[in-house]
Structure 1
Amino acid sequence: MSTTVSFEIPREVLRASRMTEDDLRRELALHLFEEEKLSFGKARALAEMSVWDFQKLLGSRGLPVHYDVEAYENDRETLTRLGRI
């Protein structure tokens, strides 16, 4: 079951920030990803962007994708178990 949470942002805040609602959503997604509060997939979904576009956005901001050796080894183990490699 999916739940949506909405909150209001006063127009004056959007005007003062010179941002659109989409811009604000992307900035929130970037911030939460950078703080490791959201995974790549959840942040990308919040930003309402494709995988490729979100990766490009991260790159344009100099933000690395959080993918360490442990995550790589876990993925490799899973792929091996599934017979994919």
Structure 2
Amino acid sequence: MQITIDLPDSLQFTEADLRTELAIALFQQDRVTLGSASKIAAMHVMDFQKLISDRGICIHYDVEEFQQDVQHLQERGWL
């Protein structure tokens, strides 16, 4: 999906800034997973985790996400 938003130049937001803020907001609202949020922000998941941790945002990590992580690691031959 592509969305175009016209913002005043005075806001001085980059596309990366907006993607990051959107990802954080959606993650905080439990609308996306940590992995999805990091993709929206175009960041490695560990970098995104550090960013939200630095902002004092709780990383809600449930059993389902853990199982997905284990599956991804197994698919890559890391487990």
Q: TM-score, normalised by structure 2?
A: 0.74
Q: Which structure would you say has the larger RCO, counting Cα contacts within 8 Å and 6 or more residues apart?
A: 2
Q: Does 2:3 align with 1:7?
A: yes
Query: Which has the greater radius of gyration?
Result: 1
Count of residue pairs brought into register by the alignment: 70
Match of 2:39 in 1: 45
Structure 1 residue runs of 4+, over 3 Å off? none
Match of 1:21 in 2: 15
- CA displacement 1:25-48 (0-9 Å, x = unmatched): 000000000000000010010000
Q: How does 1:66-85 map to 2 (within 5 A)?
A: 66-68=60-62, 71=63, 75=67
Match of 1:62 in 2: 56
- CA displacement 1:39-79 (0-9 Å, x = unmatched): 001001000000211011111111111125xx28x74xx89
% identical equivalent positions:
37
Partner amino acid, structure 1, of 2:5: I
Structure 2: gaps of 5 or more residues: none
